[in-house]
Structure formats: C-alpha cells, structure tokens
A = this chain, B = another copy of it.
Amino acid sequence: MKRAQEEPLCHHCANVVSTIFTKLTPDEVEYINDRKRCSRYEKGLIMYEEGGRTNGFYCICSGIVKVYKTGVEGKEQIIRFAKKGDIIGYRSIISGEPACTSAKILEEAVICFIYTPDLYNLLKKNAEFGIELLQLACTELGEANNYITDIAQKSVRERLAEVLVSLKQNFGLDDDNILQIYLTREELANLIGTATESVIRLLSEFKQDKLIELQGRKIRIVDEKKLTRIANMM
C-alpha cells in the first residue's frame, strides 16, 4: 500500500512514548494512527498563520519549525523553535481563539496532523491524556513567564548569550561543538527582540572574547560557562 509508506505507524513512533501521548491506551494509539495525516514539509513552507483557524494540531517527527508572531510594523517575534517530539498549534484549537502565532518550516520536516474532533474525543475519553496536555501547557506557560522577565530586564548582550546557551540545550552540538540549528542574524535578532545589527556586533564581540567561533551561520560554542555567566542564568 502506498499509504504505509507515507504514513509511519504511531506504534513505532518515538513521540508516542516520550510526549503527551504516553498515557494513551493501545486502542487509542490505534485510533490516532488511523486518523492522523503525516506529511513531509519543505523548508520555507508556512504551516499556518497568525489570525487564522486550523482544524487540528501538529506533532513533529523530524525537522525544525519556527513559531513566531508578527508585531507592529510587521516585525517578526520568534516565540520558539519546535523540533522532534514537540506539539504545536494546539493552543488555539483548545482556547477556541484564532492562532496567535504563525509556523514556518526552518528545516525540512515530517509532521503529523491530528484533527480537532479526534483530539477532543481523546480528551473526553481519557482524562489522564488531558492531564498530560495540561501539564505541557503549564510548562510552556512557565517558560513564557521566564521569557517575559528576561526580555523586560536583561540587556541585549545578556539575552544573546542566554539564547546561545538555550539553543545549545535544545538542539545540541555536533562533534565540532557546532550548534545544530542554523539561523540568520535576523532570526537571532527576532528571537531576542533586537536589531539585526546589534546581533552582528555582539556576536563578533563574543568571538573576540573567545566565547564562540563563527563560520557563516554555523556557531561553535567555545566557552559555555562564560556565556552562561554573561547571560545571568541562575
């Protein structure tokens, strides 16, 4: 069957044992497996846009997705980068509001789509599953509160150092200590809420101070400890 190739089985998916889906019964996994749609998304594709409505949410099997808002005068504010195992787009279908963010593929991705009615069926049937999703939302809420405090109180320099450290924690380094996510200077700027030029200047300061090395968009983390200290991370 063609479908079997396009649609990986949920039973074999690593996400099912490590994410909100852990509390599903085998039957429920089967249910999701039958109803989800899995697709490959090319770099640059926009999955959904702020202000719009979706009729489901996404579970990322591989790749990287940029989740962002468009602020005053069209300036992009990046909320997060989602990767393997992350769930996105659930917020708006739960709260019943239009999407408060847009999502764009940063690295070619394989992503499953689960329809709102199917999600609600599971939520109604399996309270434990609901609690899992609630936990996820609460964790994200805590992260958002931290982020608010950081942006409000820290300098651009501190925030850049912090972002480098937290990107390292989320996306890791390769054998050469190179950050496994490649962002433009502008994206870095839109993540920490500053001007592109400021990011460029501060990155080359960090380079001079031997905290990082730069090769185009590749960033080698040389001295994470000092970066952490600069970031004022507790």
Question: Chain A interface (Cβ within 8 Å of chain B)?
Answer: 69, 71-72, 75, 77, 79, 90-92, 94-97, 100-101, 120, 123-128, 130-131, 133-135, 137-142, 144-154, 158, 192-193, 232
Contact = CB atoms under 8 A, between A and B. Distances in A.
A180 B42 CA distance: 51
A156 to B, nearest CB: 11
A72 B154 contact: yes
Nearest to A51: B234
Contacts of A75: 153
Contact of A77 (B97, B127, B130, B153): B153
B97 A139 contact: yes
A101 to B, nearest CB: 6
Given A134-B137, A152-B193, 17 more contacts: A69-B148, A71-B150, A71-B152, A72-B158, A72-B232, A77-B152, A79-B145, A90-B138, A94-B131, A95-B139, A95-B141, A96-B135, A101-B145, A123-B131, A124-B127, A144-B144, A151-B151
A192 B152 CA distance: 7
Contacts of A141: 91, 95, 137, 140-141, 144
B77 A142 contact: no
Contact of A149 (B69, B96, B153): B69
A81 B222 CA distance: 42
Contacts of A79: 145, 148
Given A144-B141, A149-B69, A151-B152, A124 B134 contact: no
Contact of A142 (B95, B126, B130, B152): B95
Contact of A147 (B91, B128, B148, B150): B148
A128 B124 contact: yes
A127 to B, nearest CB: 5
B145 A69 contact: yes
Contacts of A153: 71-72, 75, 77, 193
Contacts of A152: 71, 77, 151, 192-193
